[in-house]
Chains A and B, each alone.
Chain A
Amino acid sequence: MSMIFGVPLAVLSGQLLIGIINGAFYALLSLGLAVIFGLLKIINFAHGAMYMLGAMTTVLMFDYLGVNYWVALLLAPLLVGAFGVAIEYFLLRRIAGQDHIYSLLLTFGVALIISGVLVNWFGVSGLRYTMPDVFKGGVNLGFMFMPYYRAWVIVAALVVCFGTWFVIEKTKLGAYLRAGTEDSQLMQGFGINVPLLISLTYGFGVALAAFAGVLAAPIYSVTPVMGSATLITVFAVVVIGGMGSIGGAIITGILMGVIEGLTKTFYPPASSAVIFLVMVLVLMFRPSGLFGKEA
């Protein structure tokens, strides 16, 4: 078997694949954070909880209602997105004029409530979700074994990331969004319903997190606490990339996943810390982030 730096190629490419998949999740999650940040100027601390809700909804809808994977892929983000719109409408909107720190703390409280309630109902041990039959098995690429589902996750995440980028950067709706980011009062003056735009943006950002949750359900352990640790890593990714650009969030997410995968191959003990170490380096040498415009 061929070796690279003393590591079998199959092991290396296997870890690389896991890295890319983790990176796809980081990309989806940081993308949602960036979308929300763009218009609302807040960091959504409930993002991890929404990701978890997406996965939990998928599992529970299957267990109790027999809803299959494909329907869940559409329905879970819709439900969680609607929940997000409600949170924006009933809670976040009330403190819209206040310091952004308050909305951050509000979403933190919301996250505590959501995960706390679900821990009570389902405990912290993982729920099982059976993978749809289509995805069972995989294909031998010669240098490595590629499970079908992992390939699907990468494709689906990339398509959604690219779609989001396209909508925001290239369509009229996206133009409204970007204009609202620049000057929401002026937008309101032009007759655009800005409060509605804000609600929908929050709902959409949250739905992206839920979509990541559905993708995660068959391969990760689904628990009410799965979101919090992931979210902190995603925060580090966001600090590294900066939230200035949609494309930047996507690229940084995948890059960090790959770096994490490589670390797992060559020096496993550091794998959980490596993204945070990269963050420290970025703060030292390029404090505004790789793609950031603002400090």
Chain B
Amino acid sequence: MNQPVNSADIHKAIVEEQAAQDRKKMMLNGVLLLILLAAPFMIYPVFLMKILCFALFAVAFNLLFGFTGLLSFGHAAFLATGGYTTGYLLSNYSGLTTEMGIIAGTLAATALGTGFALLSIRRQGIYFAMVTLALAQLVFFFFVQSEFTGGEDGMHGIPRGELLGFINLEDNLNMYYFVLVVFIACYLLVQRIVSSPFGQVLKAIKQNEPRAVSLGYNVDRYKVLAFVISAALAGLAGSMKSVVFQLASLNDAHWHMSGEVILMTLVGGMGTLLGPVVGATFVVNIEYQLSQGALRDWVDPILGGIFVLTVLAFRSGIVGEVQKFVKKNLG
């Protein structure tokens, strides 16, 4: 009769360890939250909002790339669609409250994402990357030629307006906390998605797609859904970005932007929750630092160099490497 006692003990130990880990995680998250809440009093809030918008963009991208294994080279299209839609609506319909504009931008990106997804999942691997890149180029041409986007000049003077009709977003602190709340909500949503049974299937698809098919999963449906969620969140990031900066430009639709979000995710650590956030913070900071100094003309080649270096030497990214280190030395 030893065995049941033993297994109960083991079970208890596992539960305890799990609880200890959860406590550690809670502590870490709590500290991060405190930092984020206090940050606008030490750092320029608009810069922080830029980081949060790009972090959300990267988190959205990572859901598709890091967890489902689909490399989209066209995510700029969703960022720009969100931004332009929100910008256009808020600039032309003064009756709209800000959140309505943002929701509309997100919906537009979701619709576009559905179209992208249905077409691109017909091909796999590198073809998938090429298809998304080409589709995003089509969207780019559309924005270049459309009048409402302001073409090469971009869309300027988008009003920040009032949230729910009574919170003045012209105030940077109000704006910051709004962006922070949206960001945290989306982060928790992605965390929830990844750990749900749906998320497990996504990971299975990433690891071995034929196997997932043979287990009876309708892989295409999972891929489309992951793509659409990712596009929606990317659009939301773009919508918020256009409100924060009060402008939307072709830069957001350019393939360069699609490359940048890949870099953020890769540098931070693909397939980890915190990775894209760290990566976005890193890339936005590096771009800012470089643009201030003597190397301001060398941003692109330096980003390219970071790309090459990351792929060659740190494929698990900053967060991935830290996790490995912790596991090896402290775990």
Contact = CB atoms under 8 A, between A and B. Distances in A.
B297 interface: yes
Interface of B is mostly: helix
A277 B138 contact: yes
Interface stretch (B166-174, B280-288, B307-315): B307-315
A198 interface: no
A232 B135 CA distance: 10
Interface in B296-310: 297-308
Nearest to B301: A116
B262 interface: yes
B304 A295 contact: no
A120 B307 contact: no
Contact of B311 (A105, A117, A276): A105
Contacts of A112: 259, 300-301, 303-304, 307
B301 A101 contact: no
A115 B122 CA distance: 32
Contacts of A272: 141
Interface string B18-34: 00000000000000000
B88 interface: no
B137 A276 contact: yes
B130 A273 contact: no
Contacts of A120: 297-298, 301
B300 A232 contact: no
A95 B301 CA distance: 21
A95 B134 CA distance: 26
B200 interface: no
A97 B234 CA distance: 32
Interface string A270-295: 00110011011001100100000001
B240 interface: no
A87 B266 CA distance: 21
B254 to A, nearest CB: 10
Interface residues of B, number: 39
Contacts of B303: 112, 116
Interface in A84-141: 91, 94-95, 98, 100-102, 104-106, 108-117, 119-120
A43 interface: yes
B158 to A, nearest CB: 27
Given A116-B304, A232-B255, A276-B135, A284 B130 contact: no
Interface in B223-277: 255, 259, 262, 266
Contacts of B127: 239, 295
Interface in B93-140: 119-120, 122-127, 129-131, 133-135, 137-138
A200 to B, nearest CB: 22
A98 B313 CA distance: 12
B51 interface: no
Given A43-B126, A280-B135, A113 B119 contact: no
Interface string A223-256: 0000010001101101100000000000000000
Contacts of A31: none
A239 B137 CA distance: 14
User: Which one of B119, B124, B134, B297 has the greatest number of beta carbons of chain A within 10 Å?
Assistant: B134
A72 interface: no
A232 B134 contact: yes
8 contacts: A100-B125, A109-B305, A110-B304, A273-B138, A273-B141, A279-B131, A287-B122, A295-B123
8 tightest Cβ-Cβ pairs between the two chains A and B? A109-B307, A112-B304, A116-B300, A116-B301, A113-B304, A287-B122, A109-B308, A236-B134
